Chain A
Amino acid sequence: MQTHKAKRVEITIEAVMETRLTNALIKAGVTGFTILPVLGGSGRSGQWSREGQVSRAGGMVCVVCIIRPDRLDGLLDAAFAVVERHIGVVTVTDCEVLRAERF
């Protein structure tokens, strides 16, 4: 099966910033992404769990984008402008996709 190289960008960010991030991504031309709920975790700001959050202020979401390698810088610039001051993690990994024309 023919596969094509791509980049998988995973941005874990506070739920309150979700719309701001996705708007910035769309503005940067990244129209394909998947948003996943995050159950809990631990990091520099301490341990937390989705259970028992009384508002969206404490929750996190994970935004996953798979893009062509040449579009990576534009995406990262757009994402950085939003996540810079906030709690979160941005990771980039190599991946391969079928049907390259979709990315």
Chain B
Amino acid sequence: MDGILALAADNLLSPIILFFALGLLAAFARSDLSIPEAIAKGMSIYLLFAIGFKGGVSVADHGIDAKLILSLLAGVVLSFAIPLIAFAMLRVMTRLDVTDAAAVAAHYGSISIVTFVAATSVIGSAGLTSEGYMVAVAAVMEAPAILSALWLIARYGKAGAGMEDGLMREILLNGSIVLLVGSFLIGWITGAEGMAMVSPLIVAPFQGVLCLFLLDMGLVAGRGLREARSVLTPGVFLFGVVMPPIGASLGLGAALLLGLSTGGTVLFMTLAASASYIAVPAAMRVALPEANPSVYLTLSLGVTFPFNLTLGIPLYLAVASAVTGG
């Protein structure tokens, strides 16, 4: 327990968390601090490029094995399954109707790539390494949850929701996935030689850019929370902090079955614990426009994202270290 608390304390005092907290506080205080939209987008492109490329280089270094394929499969299965659990919990814990509950559930089956990036930074600081292909696992976990949510609506809700023509193509080819997977493949193909060429851009500045990006995320999360407090009933809020550890437990089980390293286990737990706030909200606006965006955006961005960033990741790191002996 002391180890977990020490890890949490270390994490809370890291620059990335303190910048996120600064953003939150600035938003709560109604400061006019803002990161220009184009710069925020540029930083997210940089982070996806860097994390994808590093993952690819790591796979080039260590080679591929059956674990890679099984990890991808496990990621897909988890992404399909987590929304079913989340939906059942939401129906018990909250008064959300079927549409809102299914939309929220889809967010929890999908992943937050920023939380994943923060987790890679934390395990790096802890001196751990992970399987490079976890980046690819992150990419395959984006979309299946959306199908689960649409199935839930078809099964329990009213007719009318469905997969529109072109929606699946938009989800699978959204810019984040293309860049992440593309950078991963380029890193894999070019290996250490490629890394030597681009490392001045993607290694040294990474933490600084992540700090600025999380400052922006803090501002966005804080403003979202300020404007949508009314939707955060105690049950909804509780779901936002209870669901991540449940997802993380499923991720832990999968990682142990796969025999992943301690770092890889932390990342799998983080992926299963995180909730999407980029790809899934856009898909939900198209497929389930009746669902209230204030509920799912506030929960995933305003509650679960800060929870994972501050308490979740150190908790997952401590549990993974204890279980795997890392």
- A99 interface contact, C-beta 8 A: no
B-chain residues with CB within 8 Å of residue A17 when the two chains form the complex: 285-286
Given A52-B219, A54-B220, A16-B285 contact (CB < 8 Å)? yes
- A100 interface contact, C-beta 8 A: no
Given A52-B219, A52-B223, A58-B281 contact (CB < 8 Å)? yes
Q: Is B286 within 8 A of A16, CB to CB?
A: yes
Interface size class, chain B: 20 to 34
A-chain residues with CB within 8 Å of residue B27 when the two chains form the complex: 52
Residue in B277, B278, B289, B294 whose CB lies within 8 Å of A46: B294
CB proximity of B146 to chain A, nearest CB, Å: 13
A-chain residues with CB within 8 Å of residue B34 when the two chains form the complex: 51-52
Residue in B160, B219, B290, B297 whose CB lies within 8 Å of A57: B297
- A102 interface contact, C-beta 8 A: no
Within 8 A of B (CB), among A5-21: 14, 16-17, 20
- The interface size of chain A toward B, counting residues with CB under 8 Å, comes to 21
Q: Is A54 within 8 A of B301, CB to CB?
A: yes
Q: Is B289 within 8 A of A85, CB to CB?
A: yes
- B232 interface contact, C-beta 8 A: no
CB proximity of A24 to chain B, nearest CB, Å: 12
Residue in B279, B282, B289 whose CB lies within 8 Å of A87: B289
Given A14-B285, A16-B282, A87-B289, A54-B223 contact (CB < 8 Å)? no
- B182 interface contact, C-beta 8 A: no
10 A-B pairs with least C-beta separation = A57-B281, A55-B278, A57-B282, A85-B289, A52-B220, A52-B223, A16-B285, A86-B289, A54-B220, A57-B285
Q: 17 other contacts beyond A54-B217, A85-B160, with CB at 8 A cut-off?
A: A14-B285, A50-B37, A51-B223, A52-B219, A52-B220, A52-B223, A53-B37, A54-B277, A54-B301, A55-B279, A55-B281, A55-B282, A57-B278, A57-B282, A57-B297, A58-B281, A86-B289
Q: Could you tell me which B residues sit within 8 Å of A by CB distance?
A: 27, 34, 37, 160, 217, 219-220, 223-224, 227-228, 277-279, 281-282, 284-286, 289-290, 293-294, 297, 301
